[in-house]
């Protein structure tokens, strides 16, 4: 097993990117507070500019600013990963080099593209990044969002690159976690990236969990991860089923919209998604309020007022 892969395990909070109420400016104070909240809750790592962080909604300069703030605020307390996937290979390399120079522990690259990529294009893209950037590299497969599906056989070829330390598998296809372990000989860490299948993923050997819902319920996610990886299946199942209505809504309405709306409902607003993305529509917001009431995260009066 690559030594670099051992560092990347457990629960990693996929952070939202806090903004002003109109979504147009990065809110540094909210970002610092969110990072502290996650670290103090006991997460094993944090990531900025994953899908939940609205990776494609911010300019290169804005992303650099957030990376710099995150490095400063995390201050080495847990591993910090930065999403650096961009529309072109050259921009991805440029941003990855910046993140590495600032002191992130790894970069996570999603094939952010308008055109679904062919396998040879994916392979050339990641090979170029791995050769150019002196920091551990994570490969992020999220076919629903990107339109590009990096299948296990191609991921296994990419895992041979020396700097590839982990894979974030967000297809939701459970057997891929097993396939990736078998095809790579456990040489890289394999993370589940879909909250609604977390318990199943842990059961088939996922090394970790990138969670967007963790923004809203960090302590509950930390506890679920602890139970799921310690063999206490009955307790883990009960904890998962309590969180499942939230995770299910994330799958149906998108994690970004659900989490940002949920944080507003519970009084920990991180601003609005940048347009054209919008928070949940009124009916969906009321449904989420009810979920949060039933989870005990907000009082009954919120649901009744709505």
> What residues are labeled active site?
140, 168
What CA–CA distance (Å, rounded) separates 89 from 111?
9
Cis bond leading into 266, ω under 30°? no
Nearest to 57 by CA among 17, 20, 117, 96: 17
What CA–CA distance (Å, rounded) separates 176 from 151?
8
Taking each helix axis as running N to C, give the angle between helix 89-102 and helix 60-74, from 0 to 180 degrees, rounded to the nearest 10.
30
The token duo for 156 is 């296994």
Helix, strand or coil, per DSSP, at residue 170 = coil
C-alpha angle 119-124-127 in degrees, rounded to nearest 5? 120
The token duo for 69 is 């703030």
DSSP for 68-123? Answer: HHHHHHHTTSS-EEEE---SSHHHHHHHHHHHHHHT-SEEEE----SSPPPHHHHH
What CA–CA distance (Å, rounded) separates 32 from 50?
17
**Secondary structure letter of residue 4 according to DSSP:** G
DSSP for 173-223? Answer: -THHHHHHHHHHTT-SEEEE--GGGHHHHHHTT-SEEEESGGGT-HHHHHH
What CA–CA distance (Å, rounded) separates 140 from 59?
20
Beta strands 10-14 and 208-211 are: parallel
**Secondary structure letter of residue 55 according to DSSP:** G
């Amino acid at each position: 097993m690559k030594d670099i892969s051992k560092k990347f395990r457990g629960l990693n909070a996929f952070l939202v990117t806090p903004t002003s109420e109109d979504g147009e400016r990065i809110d540094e104070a909210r970002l610092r507070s969110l990072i502290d909240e996650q670290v103090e809750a006991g997460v094993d790592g944090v990531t900025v500019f994953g899908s939940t962080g609205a990776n494609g909604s911010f300019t290169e300069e804005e992303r650099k600013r957030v990376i710099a703030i995150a490095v400063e605020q995390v201050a080495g307390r847990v591993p910090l990963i930065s999403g650096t996937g961009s529309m072109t290979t050259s921009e991805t390399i440029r941003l990855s080099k910046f993140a590495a120079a600032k002191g992130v522990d790894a970069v996570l690259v999603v094939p952010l593209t308008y055109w679904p990529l062919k396998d040879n294009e994916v392979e050339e893209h990641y090979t170029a990044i791995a050769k150019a950037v002196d920091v551990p590299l994570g490969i992020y497969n999220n076919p629903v969002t990107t339109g590009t599906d990096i299948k296990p056989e191609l991921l296994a070829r990419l895992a041979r690159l020396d700097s590839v330390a982990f894979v974030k598998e967000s297809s939701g296809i459970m057997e891929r976690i097993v396939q990736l372990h078998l095809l790579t000989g456990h040489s890289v860490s394999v993370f589940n990236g879909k909250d609604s299948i977390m318990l199943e993923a842990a059961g088939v050997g996922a090394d970790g969990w990138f969670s967007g819902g963790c923004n809203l319920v960090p302590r509950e996610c930390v506890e679920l991860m602890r139970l799921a990886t310690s063999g206490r299946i009955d307790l883990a199942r009960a904890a998962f089923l309590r969180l499942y209505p939230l995770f299910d809504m994330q799958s149906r309405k998108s994690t970004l919209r659900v989490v940002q709306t949920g944080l507003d409902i519970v009084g920990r607003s991180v601003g609005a998604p940048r347009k054209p993305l919008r928070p949940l529509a009124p009916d969906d917001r009321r449904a989420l309020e009810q979920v949060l009431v039933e989870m005990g995260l907000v009082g009954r009066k919120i649901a009744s007022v709505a």
